[in-house]
Structures are given as C-alpha cells and as structure tokens.
A and B are shown apart, each in its own frame.
Chain A
Amino acid sequence: MPKIFFVTPDNKTTEVDVSGPMTVMQAAIQGDIRGIEAECGGACACATCHVYVDEAFVDRLPPAQEDEEDMLEGVAAERLPNSRLSCQIPVTDALDGLRVRIPDRQF
C-alpha cells in the first residue's frame, strides 16, 4: 500500500495510506488534507489541486500532459518547476513515499 506524505503550508506533514486505484488528489481528499480544493473533481478544469512535488520524485512521475501544462498557467500560488496538478498523478507502487507540498492558496 503506497504512502503519500502531504506537507501543509504550516509545515505539518500528514501521511495517507492509499488502497485502490486513485490519484494523489483523491488520496488528499480521502485523508482530509486541507488546502486541496479540487473543485472540478479531477477533470483538469479548475487548477485548485495544485501541489509542489518533492524534487526527489519529480522524475519518477509521468510527465504532465498538454492540458495539465496549460492549466498550470493559472494556479493561484506561484508556479514552480515542480508544480503539478495532483488530480493528474495516479498513485502507483513506484510512488510509495511521495512527498508533496501544498501551496498557500488555491484560488
């Protein structure tokens, strides 16, 4: 069961155990992680599920598709090279231990 670590802006880390197929966004919702709004429910249409992926994992993720790249244009917080939309990252065993930081705002 892969584990995902969410680091909130107040530097608190919360661990979520993922069972079953889901995205990093859905893992955050399951784990009641504050700061992932996910208004569109994962349709890559709202950019309120923005996260910063830990540098060590950036290359292990499937690269962002064009839609996600485009939507990242509009994130509310600063866009950084490790910015991703968490609804577009499926959790796999290879991502066990993934650490993502939540920006200070989503809209």
Chain B
Amino acid sequence: MERAIVAIGASHAGVQFVASLREQGHTGQITLVSDEPDFPYHKPPLSKAFMKGTASVESLNLRGPHFFQSAGIDFRRGLSAIGIDRAARQVRFSDGSILSYDVLMLATGARPRVWAGQALPHNVSALRSLNDARRLHNAVADTVGPIVVVGGGYVSLELAATWCMTTGRDITIVNSASRLLARSASPELAAVVENRFRAHGVGMRMGVQARQFTIDASGNARGVVLSDGTEIPASLVVLGTGVLPNQELALAAGLPCDGGILVDEQCRTADRAIFAAGDCTRHFNGYAGRQIRLECVQNAHDQARVAAAVICGQDARYHQVPWFWSDQFDMKFQTVGLLPDTRSLCVTRGTPRDGKGAYYHYDMAGKLAAIETVNMPAEHMLGRKLLSAGMSVSADRVADPAFNIRQLL
C-alpha cells in the first residue's frame, strides 16, 4: 500500500512539497489543506507589484488553476487543522473532519506578531496574507492623509517604498531599533536603505516604539503615540513588527519546538512520521552549521524539496545556501549567505550608496560568509555559485574593482 500523505498549509512550502512528491514519483494519496480561502499564491508581490496595482490576483497563483486536479492532489481550502493524534496518526480539522496519515507535513508558516496593547482600530493592520493585502490596498484608496509604518524590516520598507511611489502621501517609519533591518541586513546596507528613504522624503523615527493609538469616534486611529511621548498623525497604520512561527499544532502534539518546530537536515521532526518545512521551522542548517529559522521563499521551497525527496526514499539533506531579495524604489537588494554574528571584515565593491555595489562580509575565521548586492544581479548569482561551492575569496581580491567572481568559477 502506498503511504497516505497529508500536508497542512498551502503556501510556498506546502505547495512545493506536494508538487515535488509527484515529481519524485509518489503515487499514493496526497491531501493538502489550507485555512485560507484563496488559491495558493506568491507572497512576495503582496508588498510590491500587487500593492502597486500592477499585478492581478491570478498572476500571483503559485500553480495553474488545474494543477491540483491534474496532479491528483486532494486540495481542501478554508479548513484549519486543530489537533494531531500522533498515536492514531490522525489530524482533526475545524469542520470536525478527521484525516489519517502515514506521513504528515507541517508547512504552517508564520503569522504577524500580535499587538500587545489595546484592541486594534479598523485602520491598523499587518500584512501577511492575500486577504490582508486586499484590505490594505483598499484602505489606501479609501483614506487620505499620513501613513505610519511600524517596523523597519523588509516587508515594512517595501510597503513604505511602494506607497511613497504610488500615493504621494506623507509616510513615516517607526522603528524600535536604532537602525533599519537590524535583523536582516548589515549596518552598511541599512544605511544605504535609510538614505534612499530619506531622499524620497519618507520620515524616520528610530529607536522609539509605537505604544498606543489615539482613536476617533468612528473607531479609527488618528495618531500613533510613541515611547518618547510624541504623537504622529496617521490615517492608516501598518504593523510590520515581525512574525511568529506557527508551531502551536506541533507543540500541542508534544513535538519539540523552540522558536520554530525543530527539524533536522532532512526536515524531520522528533516523530518519524512528521516532517516540517518553511517559515514554521527551526532547522539545522548545513550551510550555517547551526540551528536557525529563516523567513524566505528559498528556504520554504528548498526544505519542501528535501522533505519530499527523503519521503520518496532518497538520502537528501538541506545544505542550500540561503538567499533572498527585496525590491524598494529603484533598488534590487539581493543577499546570499548568512551575515555572521560577529565579523572580521566588510569589503565594499562599487558604490552601493549610489545605487550599484556590494558588501562582502567575512566571519571571524576570515571566510566569506555573505554578499549583499544593490542592483548587481550578476554578482549575486555568481556569489550564489561561489558560496554553494563552499568557496571563499580573499578580501584583497574583492577590493580590486577589476576582479570578477567568474574568474573563480
């Protein structure tokens, strides 16, 4: 008997997983369950092309409309998994239904951190799903006046850049850290980004927290009160204060979690029958040599592929070099590798501040650990090949403008 496989969550990780299972030759039953009402979609454009209005909902589809049917995948949407019985190998769903599995995949992703203060006013929201994006898109059309973006991570910055270009409204970014992208970019790159936003007239309040909202009679926020006691006016507020991994289902089933469902380099949880992939996992990362949690499309796809391969009998391991991109104004940022916690050196190539260049970051052992590029896609792609091959390049060579990574590959 072919094993029955159930996957929870139908976004980048879940959809790639079921597609890879079929590509790898699994012919048994596959059920994919999503708690969202929408057909699975690409998330990155939500803050970019979709928010700009240049991408239709259909253009976001992760797969064609007939994909699940023709691949023989039972896709059920609008249904939430609420419990796992590991002994019986069953998952319980919000409509009372129960599915039995031989193999279970948890691809539950992450959700926006909740606001710890008062209940959220109508015109305050986060962006994670297509539904959120539709609501925000409409809210931008239905309101006038200043927009406040709380948080200085990539999604916040992309939204701020998009609205700066499309609306001409006053935009202020409130960031609790002393610089932008404190978790996900180097100080050098963050300074480039900050400069660009300031040049576009976007307001910045750094090192302060959004504390509460002043609310008008109709229940809308009219202002955001900051930790330094000042208030900034707002007709629309976006909370981009980070995400939390959706690990509760796993936790309740007794699977070890620690800021993410713990998985090994084969994407296995502590239960041999249960795998996890994507934003919901804290995984052993072969490239990093330690446990990390990543929030990027590359990680979701690559972990899903590894899990599918393992289930189909291969000895696959997750060793891929992490990479991601972000588009803001006229800048394409691409990062490959992982920024070291402490580094020995940062070498600049070109002039990132003027919109074209790169930063090469070296770890304490003097090995190249990450490359951040600004509008240099070729350098990024070659950097991927270099780091994937486990190669480094000396800082002296990188500092030479005539150097090209291609010489090494």
Interface residues of A (CB under 8 A from B): 20, 22, 26, 29-32, 34, 37, 39-47, 67, 69-71, 73-74
B298 near A39 (CB under 8 angstroms)? yes
User: Does B385 belong to the interface (CB within 8 Å)?
Assistant: yes
Set of chain B residues within 8 Å of A31, measured between Cβ atoms: 64
- A74 is contacted by which of B42, B70, B332, B381 (Cβ under 8 Å)? B381
With both chains docked as a complex, state the minimum distance between the C-beta of A33 and any C-beta of chain B, in angstroms.
8
B332 near A73 (CB under 8 angstroms)? no
Ordered by A's residue number, 30 sampled pairs between the chains whose C-beta atoms are within 8 Å are A20-B58, A30-B61, A30-B65, A32-B64, A32-B70, A39-B297, A39-B298, A39-B301, A42-B45, A42-B59, A43-B44, A43-B49, A43-B325, A43-B327, A44-B332, A45-B334, A67-B332, A67-B377, A69-B378, A70-B376, A70-B381, A71-B381, A73-B377, A73-B378, A73-B381, A73-B382, A74-B380, A74-B382, A74-B384, A74-B385
Set of chain B residues within 8 Å of A74, measured between Cβ atoms: 377-378, 380-382, 384-385
With both chains docked as a complex, state the minimum distance between the C-beta of B11 and any C-beta of chain A, in angstroms.
12
B23 near A34 (CB under 8 angstroms)? yes
CA distance A45 to B48 in the complex (A): 13
With both chains docked as a complex, state the minimum distance between the C-beta of B92 and any C-beta of chain A, in angstroms.
32
B45 near A29 (CB under 8 angstroms)? no
CB nearest neighbor in B for A29: B64
* Supplied contacts A43-B48, A74-B381, 15 more A-B pairs, CB within 8 Å: A22-B59, A29-B61, A32-B63, A32-B66, A39-B297, A40-B44, A43-B44, A43-B45, A43-B327, A45-B327, A45-B332, A69-B378, A70-B376, A71-B381, A74-B382
CA distance A20 to B61 in the complex (A): 15
B50-77 residues at the A interface, CB under 8 angstroms: 58-67, 70-71
Set of chain B residues within 8 Å of A30, measured between Cβ atoms: 61, 64-65
A26 near B59 (CB under 8 angstroms)? yes
CB nearest neighbor in B for A41: B42
Interface residues of B (CB under 8 A from A): 23, 42, 44-45, 48-49, 58-67, 70-71, 297-298, 301, 325, 327, 332, 334, 376-378, 380-382, 384-385, 406
Set of chain B residues within 8 Å of A22, measured between Cβ atoms: 59
Set of chain A residues within 8 Å of B381, measured between Cβ atoms: 47, 70-71, 73-74
Set of chain B residues within 8 Å of A41, measured between Cβ atoms: 42, 44-45, 60
Set of chain B residues within 8 Å of A32, measured between Cβ atoms: 63-64, 66-67, 70-71
CA distance A40 to B48 in the complex (A): 12
With both chains docked as a complex, state the minimum distance between the C-beta of A67 and any C-beta of chain B, in angstroms.
6
CB nearest neighbor in A for B305: A107
B60 near A45 (CB under 8 angstroms)? no
CA distance A107 to B381 in the complex (A): 11
Set of chain B residues within 8 Å of A34, measured between Cβ atoms: 23
With both chains docked as a complex, state the minimum distance between the C-beta of B47 and any C-beta of chain A, in angstroms.
11
With both chains docked as a complex, state the minimum distance between the C-beta of A7 and any C-beta of chain B, in angstroms.
18
CB nearest neighbor in A for B298: A39
Set of chain A residues within 8 Å of B59, measured between Cβ atoms: 22, 26, 42
Known: A29-B61, A32-B67, A45-B334. A71 touches B48 (CB 8 A): no
CA distance A46 to B48 in the complex (A): 16
Most B CB within 10 A of own CB, among A20, A31, A37, A40: A40
Most A CB within 10 A of own CB, among B60, B61, B64: B64
Set of chain B residues within 8 Å of A42, measured between Cβ atoms: 45, 49, 59
With both chains docked as a complex, state the minimum distance between the C-beta of A24 and any C-beta of chain B, in angstroms.
13
Set of chain A residues within 8 Å of B49, measured between Cβ atoms: 42-43
CB nearest neighbor in B for A35: B23
The 6 closest A-B pairs by CB, nearest first: A74-B381, A41-B42, A70-B378, A70-B377, A45-B325, A73-B378
